[in-house]
Structure 1
Amino acid sequence: MSALRRSAIATLAACTATATVAALAPTAAVSAPPPEPKVPPQAFTSAQQVGRVIHGMSLEEKIGQMFVLFAYGPDASKPDARNTSLYGVATPAEVVAKYKPGGWIYFNARDNVQNPTQLATYSNQLQAEALKTGLHVPLTIATDQEQGVVVRIGPPATQFGGNMAHGAARSTADARTAAGITGRELEAMGIRQDYAPVADVNVNALNPVIGVRSFSSDPKLVSDLTVAQTRGYQQDARIMATAKHFPGHGDTRDDSHTSLPTINHTLEEWNTIDRPPFEAAIKAGIDSIMTAHIVVPSLDPSGDPATLSKPILTGVLRDQLKFRGLIITDALEMAAVRAKYGDAEVAVRAIEAGADQLLLPPAPDVQFKAVVDAVKSGRISERRIDESLLRILLSKVKNGVAFQPFVDPAKVATTVGTPASLATAQQIVDKSITLVKNDANTLPLSNEARKVLVTGWGVTTTQSLATSLAKRGATTTVAQTGAAPTDAAIADAVAKAQANDVTVVLTQKAWDTTVTDKQAKQQKLVKDLLATGKTVIVVAVRDPYDIAYFDAAPTYVATYGYQAVSMEALTKVLYGEIAPAGKLPVDIPVAGQPATPLYPFGHGLSW
């Protein structure tokens, strides 16, 4: 590298980082590292040291920092054949050694998560391996702990109701508190970045992929709560927040995991609906933004997904909105981003578009080589790589991992799922329950002894609700019927309803018939239960839109989540221990008439 080139990088690093490092380094440290692993970090805590790290990297090492990988299994030293198939090496530690990635992501569905203490140990193992590589650059470990319906770490970690529950409660203070608790628990496990909050504005009741992951259909409410959670994660918990999915995934009927959605918002609509939450997050200092695998013709008429669009990522996000933090792609293994180009080209185009980090590449060897070759051929300049690398390294300084990568597993139990945090979570979720209909004045229930059937969706959820009801003296029967109840299961539930005083039926996306007619079976279950003439309370435990498909139900409650904390809050409302305080954060449209509200934004009954 020429002296002029080294000088340019050092100057850029100094100009960008000096104030940030000076302000954050004294306060970003975490608890003392455990005795093992013994590999000390070669900390970089100043602009000059960041420049030194960049100068010492080979091209391949620089590009490795742009990849965010995962591995199968709960232990860095444990071989797994699935790793060999994907990466050509068997253990997570070997994956780190081979690619020297800048980021790592945990998944419960990929056997990473056993419990919080195990995760803290796993994080330390991965960091020790990263520091052995010769780079001495620790990983930024991340996960998707959105809360509500998207969580990677379940109990004993504190569970909240999710974004739309916050939207129903309308409390920025509670949203910030929830993010702060979530962030501090993640940090105790060695996780320094949460891919949250979702900043999408869910204006489409038939959106199969966002729904309750969004705070609301109102851009102002989404903006306020996005800012609140950004501050909770970054200022209170000192981890990185990630607003997603730019430029806005809230108005689609297609799931980008399986197909490429097109959002036909005009430029005016995008500026009015989708832009405000991301712009608010940027002004609040959000550390990173995740791209969406969606086509938005008004922003880029090429037909390329936003993840691969320079007009969107550089033209809009960097130049118009002045975002200076990390841009990370949504998972490159998703079908939407792979539909138009091959995997190798996807990786190169994402960087050309302006992405700093490539999340979950499905063909890591092919995609890593493609980026290296693109630089060596001159298609991508090394300066472009250095720009992303500088942002990546500065983010590691800001979140503290650069100078304190290890955590103490022995201290996890005093941070994660504490009685105080669990009580706070319950208080917050209690405010979100929304009573949409109470035509027969069924609620609140009296304290008299009664037989209650709990049926509908969710093995754990129906049992959690039954447990909460039993604590109030109810004699409960559980008949879980699933997302696609069979005719026999429906008949069994109807027969049990006849033998009980009250039936509580739980629905989960009963509106969604876009793929198959399985949700129509949930609709049939509810209608057949209503036909018994017995007292039936219908509860939507995910999207609140289900009522449009069985509006004859006289009693309808929306919880926006199905965890035990939501079922306890529901029970409190059912028995009148608390008054329902939630207000709809979205319109519920008439079935088949998306422009006609059946129950409008802000609707919510109480007593």
Structure 2
Amino acid sequence: MTHGIGRRSLITAAAVMGMLGFAVTPAAVAGPGNSDDAPFRGRIVSMLQHMSVEEKVGQLFVVEVYGRDATTVTATAAANNRRLYGVDTPAQVIDKYRPGGVIYFTTRGPDNFGTPTQVATLSNGLQTAATDQPAGIPLLISTDQEGGALVARFGAPATQMPGQMPLGASRSADHAHRSAEVIGTELAAVGINQDYAPVADVNVNPANPVIGIRSIGEDPQLVAELVAAEVDGFHDGGVAAAAKHFPGHGDTATDSHFGLPEVTHTREQLEAIDLPPFRAAIAEGVDTIMTAHVVLRSIDPSGAPATMSEPILTGLLREELGYDGLIVTDALDMQGATSTYPPNVAPVEAFKAGADMLVLPPQMDVAYDAVLDAVLSGEISEKRLDESVYRILRLKMQRGLFADPFVDAAAAAAIVGAPAHVADAQTITDDTTTLLKNDAGVLPLSSEPRDVLVTGWGVATTSTLGGTIAARGQSVTVRETGLTPSAAVIAEVVAAAANHDLVVVSTNNASNVSATTGLPTASAAAQQAFVQALLASGTPVVVSAMRNPYDISVMTNVPTALATYGYTAASLESLTRVLFGENDPVGKLPVTIPTADRTGVLYPFGHGLGFD
């Protein structure tokens, strides 16, 4: 949406912007990384003049709300909303704080996702609560729909796209664009107008516990190319995009949900590895960049997390990279933030560092009051506050939310999970499965009937895979073992394997090592022992790494191995198509597979076998 303003209005707006401290230059009118905001400038300045400080501070926050309806009081949702905010319903949360944004989660948290019609109705209810406020400012409604098996908040019936590392294995910018476009189209249909995606981290550390397959891969140029395509795809789908996690979370051995990682890259390594995808996203007009709770002493020797680091957010991102879009924090309730900063300090320090929006403070009342007090005391200037609120309002206008923040709830069901979207997901995923080893020539399997044992990690994974194999006329037994199979379970399944013609076993991070001891984790050790016992049974074994592809590094005697980089239904169908030779495995490793001791290379970046 655009709002035309006359020359006289533009001059008035420019004068006011000057008083607010904005540089009124051509560059300021069309800031780096953003579309021309001249059509919105006068209206934004007018709004800033009429907003109270309390309303402006509210716009800085992104909150979670419990429940699937904006106004209905349900016992569990109301109890959680009262615990966090002292009110019963999502709409009352909006009324109380007048936040700038809301983030949706799954049943593991606030339980916002049900049917498409329900999600759309929730979004409309929240937008009604927001626009009924005196300032009438609509919400940015966001979620983490990265695609893939790990971080996709909107499950079935939403189309499950393959995710970042599978896209890296496909090497296709077209696939990356279409994947993001499908995700964006379905989110937009239910009133979610911003996706906290794409992940722009370059995963160069096989031991990374939090990124892994959430990254496109280890090659900065490949990541940059596909991230730029995704930004464009999200825009074509109708949602704002958020590149994350700046300045890069790809070389960490600590999960920032549970601790504060440190990235030891030099400035030269940062330029070569971590920054190219963010530069590409900025050049493509990315709306938002999300911070990382990581220490990067080559830029900020103080050891402050990037989220609270002025040298990183203002010095590097704003001034050096020239980014003028929205900066949002990663969740402030993560240990990477809370372990260092109390709840009344973290939001103030993040804002002072350069963040515009503060996501999920652990104590909302404390956070809101702390930021408000900092403004009223002069610790945060009104000029600085207005700069962030300006960016927030600008994005909302650029996304057309002031014109119409509502969606057609009745139409959502036909868009979410549309047959064409599901077909595209399968087509894209079929180009991602990677054949790592085929030493015994077991693959491709013939169509003749055989008894197949499907085992390993994942109740849904093994069940779904068993079903796809059975659909090829095979007799299938499914025996799921859990992530850490016991000795008794291993013995039982190995005994069963002797009575089958083939074993297909799924692994999940079987190469994991403890960050403290350097030894395999309990689950990794158990999975490794299980695979070795299966090999000793004498029955041919096919191993598929269902998450990180590094599992083969500790199973070098396995003759047949594949990597799927995920366990969506489409991934398991693609795997089965490869097993039976219906598809040639065209996926190529987007990362290097190291030797077990991680001192050498087992399989190089780009490795991948075919049947031709």
Name the TM tier (shorter chain): over 0.9
In the alignment, which residue of structure 2 is the partner of 1:182?
A: 183
Question: Partner of 2:146: helix, strand, or coil?
Answer: coil
Q: How many residues align?
A: 584
**1:524 corresponds to 2:525:** no
Shift of 1:488: 2.1
In the alignment, which residue of structure 2 is the partner of 1:410?
A: 410
Distance 2:415 2:610 in 1: 36
Distance 1:576 1:378 in 2: 68
Distance 1:278 1:182 in 2: 21
User: Which of 94, 102, 111 is the equivalent residue of 1:104?
Assistant: 102
**1:72 corresponds to 2:66:** yes
Stretches of structure 1 lacking an aligned partner (at least 5 in a row): 26-43
In the alignment, which residue of structure 2 is the partner of 1:597?
A: 601
**1:87 corresponds to 2:85:** yes
Task: Map 1:2-17 onto structure 2 (within 5 A).
Answer: 8-9=19-20
Instruction: Report the CA distance shift for 1:138/1:202 in structure 2 as closer, same or farther (over 3 A).
Output: same
Shift of 1:238: 2.6
Distance 1:492 1:280 in 2: 52
Moved more, 480-489 or 176-185: 480-489
1:549-571 deviation line (CA, Å, top 9, x unaligned): 11111000000010111000000
Distance 1:486 1:369 in 2: 51
Task: Map 1:480-495 onto structure 2 (within 5 A).
Answer: 480-495=480-495
Distance 1:601 1:372 in 2: 50
Contact 2:16-2:45 at 8 Å conserved across structures:
no
In the alignment, which residue of structure 2 is the partner of 1:219?
A: 220
Distance 1:58 1:486 in 2: 61
1:147-200 deviation line (CA, Å, top 9, x unaligned): 002100012111111100000010001110110111011000100100111000
In the alignment, which residue of structure 1 is the partner of 2:513?
A: 513
Moved more, 515-524 or 249-258: 515-524
Task: Map 1:277-292 onto structure 2 (within 5 A).
Answer: 277-292=277-292
Question: Partner of 2:395: helix, strand, or coil?
Answer: helix
In the alignment, which residue of structure 2 is the partner of 1:33?
A: none
Contact 2:207-2:513 at 8 Å conserved across structures:
no
Stretches of structure 2 lacking an aligned partner (at least 5 in a row): 1-13, 516-520
**1:54 corresponds to 2:48:** yes
Distance 2:408 2:375 in 1: 40
Distance 1:18 1:65 in 2: 22
1:410-458 deviation line (CA, Å, top 9, x unaligned): 1112211111111111000000000000000000000000111111111
Question: Partner of 2:151: helix, strand, or coil?
Answer: coil
Distance 2:539 2:30 in 1: 67
In the alignment, which residue of structure 2 is the partner of 1:334?
A: 334
**Residue type matched to 2:84 in 1?**
L
**1:577 corresponds to 2:577:** no
**1:344 corresponds to 2:338:** no
Distance 2:300 2:326 in 1: 21
**Residue type matched to 2:574 in 1?**
A
In the alignment, which residue of structure 1 is the partner of 2:8?
A: none
Distance 1:456 1:52 in 2: 61
1:568-598 deviation line (CA, Å, top 9, x unaligned): 00000000001000000000001122x4111
1:515-547 deviation line (CA, Å, top 9, x unaligned): 742221111111111111101100001100001
**Residue type matched to 1:604 in 2?**
G
Distance 1:584 1:302 in 2: 37
Shift of 1:230: 0.6
Instruction: Report the CA distance shift for 1:16/1:186 in structure 2 as closer, same or farther (over 3 A).
Output: farther
Contact 1:64-1:99 at 8 Å conserved across structures:
yes
Question: Partner of 1:177: helix, strand, or coil?
Answer: helix
Question: Partner of 2:396: helix, strand, or coil?
Answer: helix
Q: Over aligned residues, Cα RMSD in angstroms?
A: 2.0
Contact 1:147-1:162 at 8 Å conserved across structures:
yes
Distance 2:406 2:24 in 1: 25
Instruction: Report the CA distance shift for 1:315/1:12 in structure 2 as closer, same or farther (over 3 A).
Output: closer
Shift of 1:100: 0.3
1:70-102 deviation line (CA, Å, top 9, x unaligned): 111111123310110111111111100000000
Question: Partner of 1:281: helix, strand, or coil?
Answer: helix
Shift of 1:107: 0.3
In the alignment, which residue of structure 2 is the partner of 1:37?
A: none
Question: Partner of 1:46: helix, strand, or coil?
Answer: helix
In the alignment, which residue of structure 2 is the partner of 1:473?
A: 473
Shift of 1:329: 0.2
**Residue type matched to 2:82 in 1?**
T
Shift of 1:337: 1.1
Contact 2:65-2:90 at 8 Å conserved across structures:
yes
In the alignment, which residue of structure 2 is the partner of 1:273?
A: 273
In the alignment, which residue of structure 1 is the partner of 2:542?
A: 537
Task: Map 1:13-32 onto structure 2 (within 5 A).
Answer: none
Task: Map 1:541-560 onto structure 2 (within 5 A).
Answer: 541-560=546-565
Task: Map 1:219-238 onto structure 2 (within 5 A).
Answer: 219-234=220-235, 236-238=236-238
**1:568 corresponds to 2:573:** yes
Distance 2:468 2:306 in 1: 45
1:11-68 deviation line (CA, Å, top 9, x unaligned): 8799789779xx989xxxxxxxxxxxxxxxxxx9732222222111111110100100
- Provide the TM-score with structure 2 as the length reference: 0.93
**Residue type matched to 1:83 in 2?**
N
Distance 2:310 2:17 in 1: 27
- Provide the TM-score with structure 1 as the length reference: 0.93
In the alignment, which residue of structure 1 is the partner of 2:610?
A: 606
